[in-house]
Amino acid sequence: MTNYSHTLNLPKTSFPMKANLAKRELEILQLWKQLYPSLRAKRAGQPKFVLHDGPPYANGHVHIGTTLNKVLKDITVKAKNMEGYDAPFVPGWDCHGLPIELQVLKKVKGNTAQLRKACREHAQQYVNLQMQEFKRLGVVADWDAPYLTMNPDFEALTAQKMFSLVKSGALTKGKKPVHWCVECHTALAQAELEYKNHTSRAVYVRFSLVDSEVFCTKHNVPIKEVSLVVWTTTPWTLPANTAVCLHADYQYCVLAQHDEYLVTASDLRNDFCDKSNIENAEVVATFSGKDLQNALCQHPFLSRNVPVVLGEHVNLSQGTGCIHTAPGHGEEDFAVGKEYQLPVLCPVDDYGYFTDEVPQFHGKKVWEVNDLVVETLQQSNTLVQQHDQQHEYPYCWRCHSPVIVRATPQWFVSMDYDKLRERCIEEATKTQWIPQWGKKRIVNMLQKRPDWCVSRQRAWGVPIAVFYCNECDTQVRDDVVMQHVVKLFSQETCDVWFTKPVEDLMPKDYRCCGAQNFTKENDVLDVWFDAGTTQDIVLKRQDLKYPADLYLEGSDQFRGWFQSSLVLAVAGNKSAPYKAVATHGYVVEPRTKNREKQKVSKSRGALFPKDLIEKYGADLLRLWVASENFRDDVEFSPDKLQQVQTYYRKIRNTYRYLLGNLYDDDQQIHKFCDLPQLEKYILTRLHTLNGEVREAYARYEYHTVFQLVQNFFSNELSSLYFDVRKDTLYSESANSSQRRQAQFVLRELLRTTLPWIAPVLSFTAEEIWQHVRKDCDEHSIHLSKFCNVNADYCDAALQQQWKNLLQLRTDILKKLEDSKNRGLIKTFAEAHVNAGGQVSTEYCKILTQLLPVARVSCSDGDMSVMVFAGKKCQRCWQYFSIEKDSGDLCQRCIDVLHLHTE
């Protein structure tokens, strides 16, 4: 039997089937060394699009959540560049703060200056490390000029921003309750808290009215001791109690219980009685909360009386409606205390130990005092009942310990100064939020946001560079002083604040009220203040603009960077720092039958991206990112990556098919009107999809891009066009019109779809580009743009016609499968299909090409399948009719070989 394979136009390409991404990507990175400046020069003068990079923390390797974030940003910027925008990308790092300081303290013991030097070196080490890991992910950015919050210029400008807020009155120092970590010994902002399920010791406590006799007489009940019942989950704060708070308009009831009366809100009476095991309690009187205002109660175990006050924060969700009020340990308590001029007691030190203000608990930690307070209440007969209470409780984001609330002198950005809160809400409502629910979430947070505590009692941060005059006891707010400090910071870093004496930090011969005796503030700024100023510092770079077109961060940044950026921007009398904000979910492990989704965690054995890249390559991780709808939580697991690998192989094999069949392309242009019907359909679909893919990129719907590409490559190219046209490409003569027309379509597919995948599969697209580009082409795919597909290819009527035709093809393939299963035919190739009399002659001709059968006819009757009476061509493997003197070849192949030998 003759071997005819050498007479076929078999695919030829050096583009390998096996990707070997881990090795090949390193070679491509060498090609990209000058890609960013080349891209900026190429797009200079075009409309600008700025995605402002929220700074990751310079501590540790890049983890899978950071990978999701940075790859999403890179896809966004690359797609905008492909669309023709000038889309710079300036990466940044958050370099100050407690996590770095705690890491350094494990290794370095010394003074503040030595500690800060080690922190700076630690941060720089991880900036360098993460930068290399981001590069390895294929992120293209201005790596030569990133912004670091510890750079001298940045520290100086951060201090200048702080000065401006102090001078305007928006940033002031005062003693207020703040969340405090007793393990890290510092105040915490709302963004530095994580809420966990927590079990607290809850107590019902008697606060006896000093004038019970007057109360009983007024309400016409027998004279007994009357006690307001207070409920609290923090018994340790009772030593700081200075009032009991009721709601003016709530109804309260007096419960007769043995030889006493107990007072609770009427709506909470049953809950109180159930939890206190009180049965058959009789309500002997009711009154409104305002009726008891300014009455005095006896503290349950200390020798002092406390007043009854009124507050709008009292609610009926739980407890008794009688609120234990300790202005030194609660924000709402503090507000009520300010209104009623209550003393602010806070007998707890920075480490969570009681001071000698409460001798009986002196030296005891707050958690230990909970039990001691309960014992004291029992001894004084003021404990009604105790029970365990499950509730959400704030924990420190860094050490994961429960925090307390304590009043300390701190610096606060007032949310109500100059209507800052209202202005922030107004700007937030103007912003586009992706998903849309983000707008409601940010507005709700802003409405409830307390004043922002920006001071921290730590060493590694930008100092709150404020001086105090020791003679007149005032803050120095002189511009001359402020600018002198800013200049020092820009020249020597803000470390000088901790290494130089006060006189060397002040302008020479500067005086306040005639004196030169000053002290300096010791606190540093919250790292969220650093991050919040990036909009004011980074976006002023010449290559960027204000406001940014997009912020793209995890949903946890609603309480972090989204708010800090907005607050500081609006406080500076500017608009929101962003036009649009997109948020992504957490990276989670897949849900199983026995377990809900959990956030991917290193503590549970999650791999670092660098390890995954060494095994799979960066493009696999990038494709995983694009395949998921980032608006929800994103699942990640080894099985998920294996699934993505299957998708990747399909995409790679699609391009290998295209390249392999274009090895002898003559580069001729063919008119749409002259093409066969199948070619017209594929080009029409290409035109439609080109618009859909670009629109999906514009909407930041990268999972839609993935689905469009995957479906097109699998269903319309691999399963239809490639399969049908394989015979034409392989078996027709090399220069036949049919083959050249098919190659023209393959060329259009390659030219148009390669930019589709470039923002996602950046390395693979580059590898393909290097196989096909000519000397006149850009040296990188990432310097090119999305293609504009010929408008002639737009034919909606043709797409509808083919929709019907492909449905008929599907029905016939099902019929063929059924016939094969029943033994009527051995293979599809030997089948003769009668599509039925209802099928038009035009459709019948097209179906002959679309079906892998010997013959298609459209005779009267129903659809049927039979064995074709013919033989198999030994060259093209198509079946043909047996005619007189016919050999092993069909007539088509005989003709092709005849041309081949001429």
Please tell me the distance from the alpha carbon of residue 673 to that of residue 195, in angstroms, as a whole number.
65
Please tell me the distance from the alpha carbon of residue 344 to that of residue 631, in angstroms, as a whole number.
45
Q: Which residues of 571-610 are buried (b: 16+ CB within 10 A; e: fewer)?
A: bbeebbbbebbbbbbbbbbeeeeeeeeeebeeeeebbbbb
Please tell me the distance from the alpha carbon of residue 625 to that of residue 139, in angstroms, as a whole number.
13
Q: Cα dist. 389→16, 79, 318, 393, 620 in Å?
A: 63, 52, 11, 11, 47
Please tell me the distance from the alpha carbon of residue 160 to that of residue 483, in angstroms, as a whole number.
8
Q: In whole numbers, what is the pLDDT of the chain averaged over residues?
A: 92
In this structure, what token pair is assigned to residue 505?
Answer: 């930090």
Please tell me the distance from the alpha carbon of residue 337 to that of residue 241, in angstroms, as a whole number.
11
Please tell me the distance from the alpha carbon of residue 526 to that of residue 206, in angstroms, as a whole number.
41
Please tell me the distance from the alpha carbon of residue 650 to that of residue 516, in angstroms, as a whole number.
76
Neighbours of 552 (CB within 10 A): 26
pLDDT of residue 606: 57
**Tens digit of each residue's pLDDT (9 = 90 or more) over 636-660:** 988 899 999 999 999 999 999 999 9
Neighbours of 725 (CB within 10 A): 25
Annotated binding site for Zn(2+): 873, 876, 890, 893
pLDDT band at 12 (very low <50, low <70, confident <90, very high): very high
Identify the residue whose tokens are 């976006």. 539
What is the DSSP-derived secondary structure letter of residue 717?
I
**Tens digit of each residue's pLDDT (9 = 90 or more) over 818-877:** 999 999 899 999 999 998 878 888 888 888 889 989 999 988 888 899 999 888 899 999
pLDDT band at 902 (very low <50, low <70, confident <90, very high): low
Rg (CA), the chain: 37
The CATH code that applies to domain 5-12+631-794 is 1.10.730.20
Identify the residue whose tokens are 């390998």. 16
Annotated binding site: 553, 597, 873, 876, 890, 893
**Tens digit of each residue's pLDDT (9 = 90 or more) over 127-165:** 999 999 999 999 999 999 999 999 999 999 999 999 999
**In the chain, how many H helices and how many E strands?**
29, 32
Annotated binding site for L-isoleucyl-5'-AMP: 553
Annotated binding site for ATP: 597
Please tell me the distance from the alpha carbon of residue 161 to that of residue 167, in angstroms, as a whole number.
10
Please tell me the distance from the alpha carbon of residue 894 to that of residue 897, in angstroms, as a whole number.
5
Please tell me the distance from the alpha carbon of residue 278 to that of residue 197, in angstroms, as a whole number.
28
pLDDT of residue 887: 83
Please tell me the distance from the alpha carbon of residue 417 to that of residue 703, in angstroms, as a whole number.
43
Identify which of 232, 79, 60, 71 has the alpha carbon closest to the alpha carbon of residue 139: 71
pLDDT band at 593 (very low <50, low <70, confident <90, very high): low
Identify the CATH class of 201-396. Answer: alpha beta
Helices (H), 169-325: 212-218, 269-276
What is the DSSP-derived secondary structure letter of residue 582?
E
Using the predicted structure, report yes or no on whether residue 631 has a pLDDT greater than 90: yes
**Tens digit of each residue's pLDDT (9 = 90 or more) over 421-447:** 999 999 999 999 999 999 999 999 999
β-pair type (467-469, 474-475): antiparallel
Give the least confident one: 24-33, 681-690, 848-857: 848-857
Please tell me the distance from the alpha carbon of residue 562 to that of residue 578, in angstroms, as a whole number.
9
Through-space distance between the first and last CA atoms of the chain, rounded to whole angstroms: 23
What are the DSSP E strand ranges found in 714-764?
none
Please tell me the distance from the alpha carbon of residue 37 to that of residue 779, in angstroms, as a whole number.
13
Rounded to 5°, angle at Cα 275 from 273 and 277:
60
Using the predicted structure, report yes or no on whether residue 596 has a pLDDT greater than 90: no
Using the predicted structure, report yes or no on whether residue 595 has a pLDDT greater than 80: no
Q: Going edge to edge, which strands form the sheet with 452-453?
A: 186-188, 171-181, 404-413, 452-453
Identify which of 868, 892, 896 has the alpha carbon closest to the alpha carbon of residue 882: 868
pLDDT of residue 604: 52
- Beta carbons of 68 and 625 less than 8 angstroms apart: yes
Identify the residue whose tokens are 């989204």. 562
In this structure, what token pair is assigned to residue 650?
Answer: 């399909």
Domain residue spans of the chain = 5-12+631-794, 47-156+535-627, 201-396, 822-901
In this structure, what token pair is assigned to residue 690?
Answer: 């080109």
In this structure, what token pair is assigned to residue 609?
Answer: 């991206």
Please tell me the distance from the alpha carbon of residue 51 to that of residue 539, in angstroms, as a whole number.
10
In this structure, what token pair is assigned to residue 498?
Answer: 């901790």
pLDDT of residue 888: 87
Using the predicted structure, report yes or no on whether residue 47 has a pLDDT greater than 70: yes
Give the least confident one: 260-274, 364-378, 883-897: 883-897
Please tell me the distance from the alpha carbon of residue 174 to that of residue 414, in angstroms, as a whole number.
11
Q: Count of alpha carbons within 13 Å of 314, Cβ hemisphere only? A: 30
User: Topology of domain 47-156+535-627, per CATH?
Assistant: Rossmann fold (3.40.50)
**Tens digit of each residue's pLDDT (9 = 90 or more) over 178-217:** 899 998 888 887 778 889 988 999 999 999 999 999 999 9
- Beta carbons of 90 and 141 less than 8 angstroms apart: yes
In this structure, what token pair is assigned to residue 214?
Answer: 């007057």
